[in-house]
Structure 1
Amino acid sequence: MRLLDNREELLVRVRQQMHEKRYKHTLGVAASARELAERFGADPDKAELAGLLHDYCKCWPVEKMFEILVRHDMPTELLEGEKELWHAFAAAIVIQTDLGVTDADILQAVRYHTTGRAGMSLLEKVVCVADYIEPNRDYPGVDFIRAKAMYDLDAALALALGGTIQFLIEKQKTVFPLTLTAYNDLVSRKGREGGF
C-alpha cells in the first residue's frame, strides 16, 4: 500500500507497464478524470488514481492476461469475447493483488472503464468518459463528446458508448453485453428524465 502513497514511485511503476504512447494516454486520462470528478462531484483523488491505473495491463501479452482472468474465475463470455476488453478486468485484479488497491470504487472504475455496465457509479462514469475524451484522443466525434462532458456526464457517456457500439457493428464485431446494458441504462434513465 505504501506505493500508492508515493506518487513518483507509482508513476514509475505504471510507466514500466507500457510503451510511451500508452503512458501519455494514461496521464491524459488521469488528468481528465480529476477534472471531471471536480466538475461533477466525484472524489478527485480516487478519479486520478483510477485514471493512472486503468490501463495497467493494457500492454501485457494476452496470454498473461488470460491466465490471470482464468485464475480469478472470470465469466466465459469475457474469456471468449474480444481480447481488447481483457486488460480492464485483469488490471482490476492486478492492482489489488500487486499494488494493494483495496478501494472498491477504484477497482470497479478500472474494471468497467472499457465495457461500462448498467448502474455505473459516478466514479465509474468519470473514468470511462475520461478515457474517451482525454486530450490525446483523436477520432470522429470526440470534440462533440468533450463539449457534452462539460455539462452532462451521462449524455457524454451515452454518446461515447453509442459510438463504440456503432463502430463494432460496422466492423462486424461482437458487442460485449455489458456495453449494451450500460448504453440502454443511460438512455432509459435519461428518457425518464426528459432526454439528453
Structure 2
Amino acid sequence: MERGNIAELRAKIKKSQDKKRYEHTLGVTYTAACLAMCYDIDTERAEIAGLLHDCAKCLSNDKKVSLCKKQSIEINMTEAKNPFLLHAKAGAYLAEHKYGVRDEDILNAVRYHTTGRPGMSMLEKIVFIADYIEPGRNHSARLPELRRLAFQDLDKALVEILRDTLRYLKGTGNEIDPMTQKTYDYYKK
C-alpha cells in the first residue's frame, strides 16, 4: 500500500464493515493517531494499522478458519475453540494480500492487537491500547484512568490493560489465549 492513500483505505474498510464495527475502527484509528503523536511515532502508519486492525472481523468464523488453514496460518487450541479470535491473524493476511500493506510493523500491529506479544514495537503497543481505550468503548470502570495512563506511560497502560483483560477472562470463565498470558508475564516485570 502506498503512503498517502488513507482516504482510499478508509472507503474500502467502510464498505467491508457493518456500521458498529466501522465506528469502532474509526475510534481506534483516531486514538492510535493521537497516541502516535504523543510518542513521536509516524501517525500515518498508526492510522493505517488502526483502519486495518479489524479488517477480518466481519468474516464468518468458518471463513476465518478456512483462510487460516488455506494460508497455513497457525491456529492454536484456544483459537480452534473460539474462532472469532482468528480475526487478528486473518486480518494481518488480508492487510498484506488484499490491501497491499508491506510494512511488517503494521502487519504485526494488526496480527497482535488482541493478544499482544513479548517484545512489541511502539506501533504494536499503540494499536493494542487504542483498541481497548477508543472513545466508543465503555466496558471497563477503569477506562478513564487507563485513557490518562496511555498518554503518560505506554508500558504501564499496556500492563494494566492486560491485567484487566486476564481478570475479566478468568472471572467469566472464558479461555485465555496463551499469548495474552505470555505478554502479561513479559511486561509486568
Identify the TM-score tier after normalising by the shorter chain.
over 0.9
Residue 188 of structure 2: aligned partner? 187
Contact 1:85 1:115 in 2 (8 A): no
Identity of aligned residues (%): 40
Q: Deviations over 1:69-116 (max 9, x none)?
A: 111222241542422321111010011111111100000000000010
Question: Which runs of 5 or more residues in structure 1 are unaligned?
Answer: 189-196
Contact 1:81 1:176 in 2 (8 A): no
SS at 2:163 equivalent: helix
The separation in 2 between residues aligned to 1:86 and 1:171, in whole angstroms, is 20
Residue 143 of structure 1: aligned partner? 144
The separation in 2 between residues aligned to 1:76 and 1:130, in whole angstroms, is 25
The separation in 1 between residues aligned to 2:70 and 2:83, in whole angstroms, is 16
How does the TM-score come out when normalised to structure 1? 0.90
Residue 101 of structure 1: aligned partner? 101
Counterpart AA for 2:165: T
Residue 88 of structure 1: aligned partner? 88
Matched, 1:49 2:61: no
148-157 vs 107-116, which moves further:
148-157
How does the TM-score come out when normalised to structure 2? 0.93
Contact 2:68 2:75 in 1 (8 A): no
The separation in 1 between residues aligned to 2:115 and 2:22, in whole angstroms, is 21
Counterpart AA for 2:166: I
Residue 122 of structure 1: aligned partner? 122
Matched, 1:38 2:9: no
SS at 1:80 equivalent: helix
Contact 1:17 1:60 in 2 (8 A): no
Q: Deviations over 1:28-76 (max 9, x none)?
A: 1111101111111222111111001100011111111111111122224
Q: Deviations over 1:141-195 (max 9, x none)?
A: 111110111201111111111111111111111111110111111111xxxxxxx
Count of aligned residue pairs for this structure pair: 187
Residue 155 of structure 1: aligned partner? 156
Contact 2:31 2:130 in 1 (8 A): yes
Runs (4+) of structure 1 moved beyond 2 Å?
Answer: 4-9, 81-84
Shift of 1:5: 4.1
Counterpart AA for 1:108: N
Give the alignment's Cα RMSD to 1 decimal: 1.4
